[in-house]
Amino acid sequence: MIDLSWMAWTTPTALFWLGIASSLIAMCVWEYYSPGGNPRVGILRFETTRGDRLFISLLGSAFIHLAWLGLVGPSLWWAMGLSVLYAIFVFKTV
């Protein structure tokens, strides 16, 4: 068994990484069955695909979590909820 105690895994951290892995797997399956990425022009005024919107939402979620850690503290449940809302916003409007 690998000793991961140095990483200080918490439940929100594990769920965050599980969510990233799950979304990447889901996007791969979606792209396999419906290739092309469904490009569209949103509020950013340039063409984005599903993969672009996923990348923007993951990057924003990382920044939300880092800001939460720096400004609020180690309780990441609200940051995770904020990240989910941010991802929904990105997929609907960008």
pLDDT digits (tens, 9 = 90+) for 43-85: 989 999 988 999 999 999 999 999 999 999 888 889 989 999 9
Is it the case that residue 8 has pLDDT exceeding 80? no
Question: Cα separations (Å) of 19 from 13, 22, 28, 57, 73?
Answer: 10, 5, 14, 12, 21
What confidence score (pLDDT) does residue 55 get?
A: 93
For 11-37, the three-class secondary structure string (H helix, E strand, C coil) is HHHHHHHHHHHHHHHHHHHHHHHCCCC
pLDDT band at 7; cut points 50, 70, 90: confident
**pTM, rounded to two decimals:** 0.79
What confidence score (pLDDT) does residue 77 get?
A: 87
